[in-house]
Amino acid sequence: MPPQKIIIDTDPGIDDSMAIFFALSSPELEVIGLTTVFGNVHVDLAATNALRLLEIAGRTDIPVAKGAANSLVGDYDNPPAHIHGDDGQGNVHLPPPAGKPIDQTSAQFIVEQVMSNPGEITLVPIGPLTNIALALRLEPRIAQNVKQVVLMGGNALVPGNSTPAAEANIKDDPEAADVVFGAGWPLTMVGLDVTTKAVVTDEQLQSYARSSSPMAQHIARICPFYLDFSRRVNGNAVGGLLVHDSTAVAYLLVPDAFTVKSWPVRVETQGMSRGKTWPMVRPNTRATYWHNRPNVNVCVDIDSARTIALEFSRVAP
């Protein structure tokens, strides 16, 4: 089987870095581009970090595009430096990359690649969904020409992490997310229902440090910052570090490690629940909000021991 061609849409980001390295280390996947978006950092730094990560991986042949600086409806001014560091990489302050982003925007790159490779490209958004909504606006036919969309974001049956209601990627652009969930393409939501079960322990992190792989070494450098944040917020309740974004990559590799429901999903855009993803879990003829909305796959459970072990075996062999 030829590898599955993927475009990772990302805001790197500590767990984004882990996901990118996981994908680059997996022969079943061919990363044909990194498209960047605001989120964990402003978009200029997101593109810079993507270039830096590809240099660490020795994969400067992969193009990086720079995309949305703001959500569809408002300015973005709130990067979570307390989670990912001022540099988005745990304050390790990497040197500037040698390369630069391509001239196309993230949305333009996505459209060009999907339309010139019909049925072949999988989109893996692991940041706010703005670039994906902009790509749909630019060329709605990508919905019929993409292979699938596997995104990290949302919370179906569990609380949010950005607010009590909402997960961070969806909260950063709920209007874009509602467009993406309603586009009628094969879509899988890998949200907090499963990513909050994907925990890497201290001991496992130490084994990254023992690996000679430059990717594993970088992960070992940047993760302590993220782990400190997690401990400050959760105490020892979580027992380690949540690998949200890597879990979307794991879904591509071992979908049978996930329990999946098929539901239509709307995204709340108003009030205190702004950014909440609402699946229609029971058929209900009075549920007008979901009228004519397509079903999507929603991951609700995971064999996380299996997905975490797979990530280690790939990134820190």
- Return the number of the residue (180 or 290) whose C-beta is nearest ligand RIB: 180
Say whether residue 9 binds ligand RIB (CB under 6 A). Answer: no
Residue 302 site contact among ligand RIB, Ca ion, none (CB < 5 to 8 Å, cut-off depends on kind): none
Say whether residue 87 binds ligand RIB (CB under 6 A). Answer: no
The three-state secondary structure class of 213 is: coil
- Mark 18-49 as b/e (b = at least 16 C-beta within 10 Å): bbbbbbbbbeebbbbbbbbbbbbbbbebbbbb
The nearest distance, CB 168 to Ca ion, in angstroms, is: 8
Catalytic residue among 11, 16, 87, 173: 11
Bridging pattern class, strands 258-267 and 277-279: antiparallel
Site for ligand RIB in 38-77 (CB under 6 A): 39-40
Write each residue from 253 to 292 as x if it is in contact with ligand RIB (CB under 6 A), else as -, in one continuous string: ----------------------------------------
The contact set with Ca ion (CB under 5 A) reads 11, 13, 16, 126-127, 245
Catalytic residue among 16, 84, 218, 244: 244
11 labelled catalytic: yes
Site for ligand RIB in 220-249 (CB under 6 A): 244-245
> Kindly report the CA angle at 14 between 9 and 17, in degrees rounded to 5?
50
Say whether residue 194 binds ligand RIB (CB under 6 A). Answer: no
Q: Which residue is nearest to ligand RIB (CB)?
A: 168
The nearest distance, CB 314 to ligand RIB, in angstroms, is: 19
75 labelled catalytic: no
CA pair distance 214, 57, nearest whole angstrom? 7
Contact 258, 194 (CB under 8 A): yes
- In angstroms and rounded to an integer, the radius of gyration of the C-alpha atoms of the chain is 18
CA distances 297 to 153, 156, 211, 224, Å, are: 12, 11, 36, 33
CA pair distance 118, 63, nearest whole angstrom? 20
User: Which token pair is 85?
Assistant: 């560091």
| Piece of 11-19, 263-271, 282-290, 304-312 that binds ligand RIB (CB under 6 A) | 11-19
Catalytic center residues: 11, 244
